[in-house]
Structure 1
């Protein structure tokens, strides 16, 4: 504790402390007259000490401090709460223009008297930067929204175009007389429909991600409705982990499923089998995954038509698997055929086969 010999020494020290504060700072009496002000206050607001000390705050600078929000702070809030931090005041000052100030106020009572300590922080530039950032964010969100709308419209048009192409292929398949040509055209139709299904999912979701279970189920339903006749009782089942994949990966995955399911429908059941089943499974383990298309048909040993190497269908599957950084394995015997497409070192936890 400093032992002052007289009041003048105490006032000198108090004024020195006030002057060291970098932000504008004033001390008011209980009538809101200025007892002291910091050097930064005079410099910032172009005030003359002679016309500041001892004068009513509201009257300073031809009334530039007669601000309604400031009156609310000093006359209403401070008497009730003693202190207030971060009270924002926006005002047009004659020499400074429009400024935004954060006011921190403290009421100090000693004996029957009280004073108010009032500090000002100019946050005009900060608020300007925040406003510009908000405007930039709004503009960015608007551009992203426009991009999403355009992307959805493009996906919708692509899906429609693919549907038209698929319809033309189907019409051609019905018109040709060659059974081989008809079969190839139907296969091409299903390949196009596989890609179209991805586009439909993208249009519905609005994002570049595909829900695997929903996609594979709808794809296999489409294959069943167009490839399986009433005289051929055959069920296609899908078991898939919950999760989503990118549209580029979904296209490759869908084409692989299309090729393998078409192959199983064609060759696995040369004789009607009331228990005939094609099972499509998709498992996910972190970044790795495994797709299996299996059937309980006659297998390769009983019908050499099942492709494991060579042929357009197998070439397509191998090429797509390579793009997906995956390998293809085939197991075929008298109980059926199972083709697995595996990425990395995935280990299946589902039973193999149907």
Structure 2
């Protein structure tokens, strides 16, 4: 480092450096007396420069800096040449009010000399701490609102589930009470629609409003619930699910769930007019990038094989499935034979890699 020929030049440079520091800056000697300070220190804390040199730091401004914890900290730092990094404290500033300050110090020793100087830098972090406190308060309020929203959502779901159950029960009671076969068929059909909505709503209630739904778990739980509610002991039907591991938005899950419920109920209702030992409905879901395919198939008698069974492409249920598929930008294809019925819902361009046998 270049040596100054004139010691006064070094002093001039040092004072210039002190003055360019934007934060309040003070230099103390071993006796805590002020050796130098910049204008930011004097103006911020309203200290008269002419009454600062030669007196201790703790006597400045009528002893306003004589804070016990600060005195103890500086005494240790100066005596042991130990730096202070980010000591936070509060003090009143006449023109600014109560301020939160951050103090950083370093003691500088000199070769061959017993004396030293300690540099003090003060940073006003009041606004930063206030911003942090406001942010924390905002986060806490947000969490409280979200918690309240979850409670309201669960309550709404609970009420919807109860209402659907009541409607389904009333429809079934009415269907059993009427003598007209046509009226009974319409009431049973309406009951089936309500059961479709109730099955999907029940699963989404359990997900607690999660935006992304894991497809395999969703379909397994949905079909398990359907099996308990629609499969009769006198005519058992196994409902199996095969699905890739993937997630879909909850809005898409609602439409897929309604489609699956509609098709599974139809399969159980129509595919096995007589008990069959290996009666089975298979729900499969494959995904490739953004393309996917949903297939519901059975090993029953095929569509139209039983008297009174709706013809392919007819019925309110078919209209519902086609409308939901259109919402999902998917196409519906049905294939039927004496060995069963298969309905596929295909989105985008999709090439199946999964064997589909009920």
Tell me the residue number matched to 1:296: 299
Distance in 2, matches of 1:13 and 1:253, equals 76
1:134 to 132, 136, 155: 136
Offset at residue 103 of structure 1 (A)? 1.4
Offset at residue 259 of structure 1 (A)? 2.2
Deviates more, 1:227-236 or 1:50-59: 227-236
Provide closer, same or farther for how the CA distance between residues 61 and 315 of structure 1 changes in structure 2, counting only shifts above 3 A: same
1:309 to 301, 310, 313: 313
| Aligned Cα root-mean-square deviation (Å) | 2.4
Distance in 2, matches of 1:203 and 1:33, equals 71
Distance in 1, matches of 2:331 and 2:232, equals 32
Offset at residue 66 of structure 1 (A)? 0.9
What TM-score comes out, normalization by structure 2 length?
0.89
Provide closer, same or farther for how the CA distance between residues 137 and 297 of structure 1 changes in structure 2, counting only shifts above 3 A: same
Deviates more, 1:24-33 or 1:190-199: 190-199
Gaps of 5+ in 1: none
- Name the SS of the counterpart of 1:250 in structure 2: helix
- Name the SS of the counterpart of 2:266 in structure 1: helix
1:100-132 Cα shifts (integer Å, max 9, x gaps): 112121110112111101111111122222222
Deviates more, 1:206-215 or 1:9-18: 206-215
Contact 2:199 2:225 survives alignment (8 Å): no
Provide closer, same or farther for how the CA distance between residues 17 and 248 of structure 1 changes in structure 2, counting only shifts above 3 A: closer
- Name the SS of the counterpart of 2:352 in structure 1: coil
Contact 2:23 2:40 survives alignment (8 Å): yes
Distance in 1, matches of 2:234 and 2:195, equals 24
1:351 to 346, 351, 355: 355
- Name the SS of the counterpart of 2:353 in structure 1: coil
Offset at residue 26 of structure 1 (A)? 0.7
Deviates more, 1:45-54 or 1:285-294: 285-294
Distance in 1, matches of 2:172 and 2:218, equals 22
Distance in 2, matches of 1:332 and 1:88, equals 78
Offset at residue 301 of structure 1 (A)? 7.5
Contact 1:338 1:353 survives alignment (8 Å): no
Offset at residue 64 of structure 1 (A)? 0.6
Tell me the residue number matched to 2:219: 216
Distance in 2, matches of 1:81 and 1:338, equals 84
Are 1:236 and 2:219 an aligned pair?
no
Deviates more, 1:267-276 or 1:318-327: 267-276
1:87-102 to 2 correspondences below 5 Å: 87-102=87-102
Distance in 2, matches of 1:288 and 1:163, equals 35
1:154 to 138, 153, 156: 156
Provide closer, same or farther for how the CA distance between residues 226 and 124 of structure 1 changes in structure 2, counting only shifts above 3 A: closer
Offset at residue 205 of structure 1 (A)? 2.7
